[in-house]
Amino acid sequence: MLLGLVINPISGMGGAVGLKGTDGQEALSEAIRRGAKPVAGSRMREMLSHLPRIDGLSFLTGGGPMGEDVLKELGLQHEVVHSSARPSAQDTKTCCLIFLEREVKCITFGGGDGTARDVMDAVDEKVPVIGIPSGVKMHSAVFANTPREASVLLARFITSGLPLRRSEVMDIDEEAFRQGHLSARLYGHLQMPYESALVQPIKGDYEGGSVEEEKEAIAAYVADEMKPDVLYILGPGTTLEAVAKRIGVPKTLLGVDAVLDGKIVAADAGEAVLEGLVNSHAKVKIFVTPIGAQGFFLGRGNQQISARIVRMVGIENLVVLAAPTKLRETKVLRVDTGDPELDRSLKGFRNVVVGFRMGTMVKVE
């Protein structure tokens, strides 16, 4: 079976350094200046390394970091159909157009929402795709939950066949996102092999009076429990914004902030800043909230709170907050830190704060 494989090598580089994306040369240059490292290649490598060896399977791919390097490293049969010294969105589209001409059975791509839009521009709904989640933000419904689950999805599609689902591709205004405003619209659809347990849903949004009241109750509890000389790391989201408002500090809505003794000590912090703060404080707690419907509370939109940071702080000091309304539409919680051992240690049932001195046990898959 002939498959297409393409990687956006810069996808996800902005996450750990707090840039919330790398669309555009200016954002990429700033990410590199801050010490960002490529992540999409390693995410694709993880997927491919867990893919069972299947007779007759071969790949068409892009040159170098667009796919060739990973496939060569793993000894998988492949043919380079397009190369570029500085891979761009147009190179992703060119690869996909060639995949289409060569009649591949499925396209796997490593990237985020922007890469999904590039793939859609080239192939529309003519061939099924599987997204390997590698970006900072992945609000589209064309991604597997994790690289490992993508390997399961792809293997089942190849060996057994799976039904195809018309899945949403979202257009996120990245510049607005960097400024703390989420502006999303439906861009179009791609066909995707579908198995509900392996594929992330489109991001859910929850607004309204009752939800705001639920967040206020959570915020009141968190504020009541805060202690002196404890460093509190607040992840992105409106639930954590409510916490910040309750204690009287500003919040970077889509970033990560650190609070000590009722004052902001780091705003919109990247991984390196957080590491320095954690190293200099004996007591640290991390507060995060899951993405609605998708359920991810680590590894989506908060890559600054990396596996290394979580290990330094200790999973016992990681607190998940979620409004009950959100949890009703979020059946399970998920993590995708890029550290399989840490992900396994976080799985099982976890207490989630849902109100003032109220918690509920939710399964982490």
Question: Taking the chain (365 residues) in consecutive chunks of 10 residues, what is each chunk's mean pLDDT?
Answer: 95 60 56 66 95 94 97 97 94 98 97 94 97 86 94 95 91 60 77 91 62 92 95 96 95 94 96 96 97 90 94 97 88 92 95 91 92
Burial class (CB in 10 A: 0-12, 13-18, 19+), 203: buried
Phi, psi torsion values for 208, nearest 5 degrees: 125, 165
Helix pair angle (209-225, 238-247), 10° resolution: 50
Q: Give the pLDDT confidence score for residue 204 in this predicted structure.
A: 59
Q: How far apart are CA 297 and CA 287, in angstroms?
A: 10
CB atoms within 10 A of CB 294: 23
Q: Give the pLDDT confidence score for residue 173 in this predicted structure.
A: 63
Q: Give the pLDDT confidence score for residue 21 in this predicted structure.
A: 54
Q: Give the pLDDT confidence score for residue 327 in this predicted structure.
A: 87
Q: Are 40 and 8 in contact (CB under 8 A)?
A: yes
Q: Give the pLDDT confidence score for residue 331 in this predicted structure.
A: 79
The verdict on pTM exceeding 0.75 is: no
Q: Give the pLDDT confidence score for residue 196 in this predicted structure.
A: 87
Which of 260, 203, 216 lies closest to 234, judged by CA? Answer: 260
Q: Give the pLDDT confidence score for residue 10 in this predicted structure.
A: 85
Q: Give the pLDDT confidence score for residue 176 in this predicted structure.
A: 55
CB atoms within 10 A of CB 304: 26
CB atoms within 10 A of CB 310: 23
